[in-house]
Amino acid sequence: MTRAAVVTGGARRIGAVVARHLHALGFDIALHYRSSADEAVRLRDELCSAREASCEVFQADLDDMAAVTALAQSVLGRYPALDLLVNNASGFAPTPIDRCTPAQFDAMLGANLRGPYFLIQGLLPGFAAGGSIVNLLDVHIERPLRDFNAYGAAKAGLASLTRSLALELGPALRVNGVAPGAILWPEDDAAYDARAREQTIAQTPLARLGEPEDIARAVAFLACEAPFITGQVIVVDGGRGLAG
């Protein structure tokens, strides 16, 4: 029987690679996007050309609670039995403490913690026994990134939620996290200018960037091959966390 997976922020970058990888493993994909409509439609068409009617796209701003509720209802209307939710969608922006506004703080909290929380709540009625939730976290919850304090706090909250829900939702559901290190650089230089990038690579024992496929494989492992693992976070950083 075909399995169904929801991938948030799945239109591009790591999310798109996760969606492709899960699709290749036989999952039908509920592909969420916020603003990348063209990329989402192209990916849907790509996946459906490989296997007919195997992907649907769903638009929502996860910082909007009404939109999160509507998203959950739309997904369950199309996929009444869910096997996997990958909370990949994320907001990433600097919020220096001396000038962060409440709106900026709330935006980081909404995209990275509140949105995933209430999406899980909304999708709970559709999860099959033995289902799985995988939250995409960040190594910077342990190694703070200067000026990204609200982002880091929200991701740390999502890590805590991962452990809490593993207790609350077991044994029917497993809840785990994947914390990427340097996989893809941000699309601007707000956090990683050329010097920061060189330093990051120099301090990584494997001496290179990771690949989005590394994250996709970790997600698939937790979802498909780890029936006795819950409440855990797999760090995928090439050993960067060992550098001190």
**Active site amino acids:** 151
Q: What are the CA-CA distances from residue 135 to residues 13, 228, 232 (Å)?
A: 16, 17, 10
Cα gap 39→57, rounded to integer Å? 10
DSSP assigned state of 124:
G
Burial group, residue 97, by CB count within 10 angstroms (0-12, 13-18, 19+): exposed
Given a contact cutoff of 8 angstroms between Cβ atoms, the answer to whether 76 and 51 are in contact is no
DSSP assigned state of 36:
-
Given a contact cutoff of 8 angstroms between Cβ atoms, the answer to whether 68 and 119 are in contact is yes
